[in-house]
Amino acid sequence: MSEYRNMTKEELLAEKETLLKKFDEFKAMGLNLDMSRGKPSKEQLDLSMDMLKPIDYTEDGFDVRNYGLLDGIKSCKQLFADLLGVEAKNIIIGPSASLNLMYDYICQCYCEGVLGSTPWCKLDEVKFLCPVPGYDRHFTILEHFGIKMINVPMTSEGPDMDVIEELVKDEAVKGMFCVPKYSNPQGITFSDDTVRRIAALKPAAKDFRIVWDNAYCVHDIKDEGDTLLNIFDVLGDNEDMVIEVCSTSKMTFPGAGVSALAASDANIAQIKKRLNCETISYDKMNQLRHVKFFGNVDGLLAHMKKHAAIMKPKFDMVIEHLENELGGLGIAEWLDPKGGYFISLDVMNGTAKRVGELCKEAGVTLTTVGATYPYGDDPNNSNIRIAPSLPPVAELDLATQILCTSVKLAAIEKLVG
């Protein structure tokens, strides 16, 4: 089929009629399919059930069932140190999810400032750079603290560094959230050049902080995954600028995993001082369960291969539908990521919300359209985040067909009404 924009009105209306027939058939199935959030499937969750078998809860003679060890047990700190390529002294093991670590860190900057700087709450304006499309919950944290969000476009190599280098000249720009590997939602891994340019930034604000959310650090789907340069290896004098976080949410159990934070000595000291007021210690039994379950980083990577085997057919299925049904029509673009949890689909400008409505009508829930942009405002109304992990393959098959039909219908409505 030729591009929609080269078709006559009559041809488009005939195509619309065929699509509507198909759409009505889908509607008649009374479906209830969920592609809204990046949740692991039941099959993936089952992979980690062995972790819950009884173990000896002592480490180096210390009973980890009791209070103590604010920044985590030694073996768990070492596991994350090895995973992230930093020293164990630069790791804090956090609660059961990394969003807590991110929220708490921004809250700390807001309440007490950064290593002696003016607390952000006392400043007239605080701005953050937000690579877009991005992760909605980062935006929610920033909005909660009244931090003004500035969109920075993503490129195939990561955020547009020319734009960032310009924007950081403004002293009110205090930081940036990044998902450097298999970004949410595009699945883009920052190139070495991008990581080096980020590491070399000289922001006007001395308290500029980057939250390096490495949520998908080991989440390859294809055999040959992407490689991310370790930013701590190239930060040099800028070592205080980056706070890295990750978690086992999508390795073991979301909301019941282990999170970790990596940062410079100075940042770790400030965070620990605050943490000392916040808690006595996190869940060290869970930390030890994770260490015993994975053994070491090699064990963790082997476990992630099992996740990949479940995820790959789902991602392949979505990409195949997109190629077969939307390829060559000139109404949609997407990336085929090598890992992560999402496929980002850009439909014809001005039609994404309509696609969301049509999908809903036919029983498919997508991530709220617009959520991939700060304030829920996608200026082009074009980005849709597809989360293929949760539904079984057969459901995903149907859901993606409905999505493709909706994308085409919305485009024709836009072109000829």
Smaller CB separation from ligand PMP, 263 or 326: 263
Q: Applying CB under 6 A, does 254 fall inside the site for ligand PMP?
A: yes
User: If DSSP codes are grouped into helix, strand and coil, which group holds residue 122?
Assistant: helix
Q: Letter for the amino acid at 199?
A: A
Q: Which of residues 94-113 bind ligand PMP (CB under 6 A)?
A: 97-99
Smaller CB separation from ligand PMP, 249 or 406: 249
Smaller CB separation from ligand PMP, 215 or 229: 215
Considering CB under 6 A, how many residues would be counted as binding ligand PMP?
Answer: 13
Q: Applying CB under 6 A, does 247 fall inside the site for ligand PMP?
A: yes
Smaller CB separation from ligand PMP, 4 or 373: 373
What's the CA gap between 310 and 314, in Å, rounded? 8
Quick one: residue 322, left, alpha or beta (phi over 0 = left, psi -120 to 50 = alpha)?
Answer: alpha
Q: Which of residues 17-56 bind ligand PMP (CB under 6 A)?
A: 38
Q: Applying CB under 6 A, does 249 fall inside the site for ligand PMP?
A: yes
> Cα dihedral sign for 18, 19, 25, 28?
negative
Give the shortest CB-286-to-ligand PMP separation in angstroms.
13
Q: Name the nearest CA neighbour of 160 among 178, 172, 184, 174.
A: 178
- Residue 215, CB half-sphere, CA atoms under 13 Å: how many? 27
Q: Applying CB under 6 A, does 92 fall inside the site for ligand PMP?
A: no
Give the shortest CB-304-to-ligand PMP separation in angstroms.
15
| Residue position matching structure tokens 């943490």 | 275
Stretch that binds ligand PMP, among 65-73, 79-87, 93-101, 354-362 (CB under 6 A): 93-101
Smaller CB separation from ligand PMP, 338 or 408: 338
Q: Residue 246: CB partners within 8 Å, gap ≥ 6? A: 80, 83, 84, 98, 213, 214, 215, 217, 259, 260
What's the CA gap between 192 and 122, in Å, rounded? 36
Q: Which of residues 375-414 bind ligand PMP (CB under 6 A)?
A: none
Question: Where along the sequence are the contacts to ligand PMP (CB under 6 A)?
Answer: 38, 97-99, 135, 179, 184, 213, 215, 247, 249, 254, 259
